[in-house]
Structure 1
């Protein structure tokens, strides 16, 4: 949530008045260069917010660029303990955000999705793990329709291509509009949910600079992780220094195959035509209490792989068939749609 002091505007004055007297419980600096707040140490005893309003910009994850343009160097993340806030003043705050010219860059901005939260609050994030990008097919619509809204903005992070994609021309053959074989499969599928093509934004590994990539991620509320090579996807995420911004992401994460696997802290790779050996790899680390077996077809190799993976740390393994998927809510609860099996010591193939 990005709030800019505009004292010439009546809504801005009301916003400043609303904040006066509130106390910051926690401040997290977000300078690109890692600088400190100029000579100030607001973390000790709380800090009166009005003293920070002079030429300051306050942001929360994701919505920083969404509402008022790009954050300036020197912006800070502001987290207030909402239990101390007066409800009538909160209403003034919401009115300010809904009144022009405050919301100038995002018609879809919903203040209810970007409330100031307690200082120890974790990012609010939903996860969808599947095998296929065909989210507009009948078998999965009912499970996903409550998570995808017509006003959403989608960021497609297509970093999962194999090593034979070596340059922009190769990348375009896979993902470029009007040319790429995977473009429509990852764009048109959102149309059933009411989104338009202009709401689906692709990160280009070969042409976008790192700041552009970060902005695309932060400005979305749906992050799409494509299928392909999970280990290479993680390698490129680290190369582009995107892991931190991904870890802090708020919204809905949808991952297909490799994009499902890297949502985990650790994931196993069962041997197939692309990976000749069983392997363990590190993911982004959003989820850590289970493992997945993607493209589950009840094969002997997959059953052996799940037994080997389960023996490592006894985490349940969700075996997701082609028409199957799972949803992990912000509180960690899980729901399933289509064909999914839970592999543990009670599974009939355990120990086989």
Structure 2
């Protein structure tokens, strides 16, 4: 049975019908650092200096909120808990929630102040309330960064206030944002709220993509003179989600325009395609000295790829395995792999496993099989 071959040919045929004009082979961006990822397949669509050290500015607040979400989720903190505003928090400059010294502010309000209003004062209230001091909280932020795979990040404060030892990379911010989206779906909706009022002061969410029809639902802007204008953003259309990090842009207007352009480009020029479903039989492989002449092999996880729409017909799907497979063979035994390759795509592979057990032939059967091979040149 040539299931794998038929599947690949059918996919190529569909690609030939669906493909439009050839897409551009590259895209330039004015951002100093940029990373665009299709989260549905964990594929990088655009990468510009993703591991270059940069200042995160208020994008830092993603980790501040992350630590609050974590405590809410494990029950050590509740939205109704309240923290007292210190003079340090009240005096903090930059963007503010406008809390007052001595006030006790609920965690729920502080989260909105951090996420929607980008309040530096709110981050200090949270940091001091959780860890006793902002410095101790920043150490916890850095430890959490290491835990989730952010290898090139160090936090010195909870707000993103300029500090030469407070840095990250575009890749690390993407890791943080993806983890936040996946781990805390019950709180992620806060990032899509466009305004919040506290002490009768209404402030708009600074994320420009929330006001443009691109499917955006988060996450956070950042700006300091040293960092330039930055944005960590996510947008969903149908069953795809793109995650973007840009930084080092020259103005808020350029940030908005470039972010929209990159998100639109990612959805327009690339498509995510499902190739195999977990448990699907991909082929039948001949056996050697087995009680059955073939064994069906299956893939045990879904396999999807994101490709430029104009290279779908250049994709190759290859089953790599020994032929024939020597018996005995146990159900679930890994017997090879499927490899997917295409221009511009890092090869994707997934193991294939025997769908059933195949016992070895008895002595008489092995002799007969050997004779058949000698006479006919065929293996059984």
TM-score, L = length of structure 2: 0.22
Higher strand share: 2
TM-score (norm 1): 0.23
Could you say which structure has the larger radius of gyration?
2
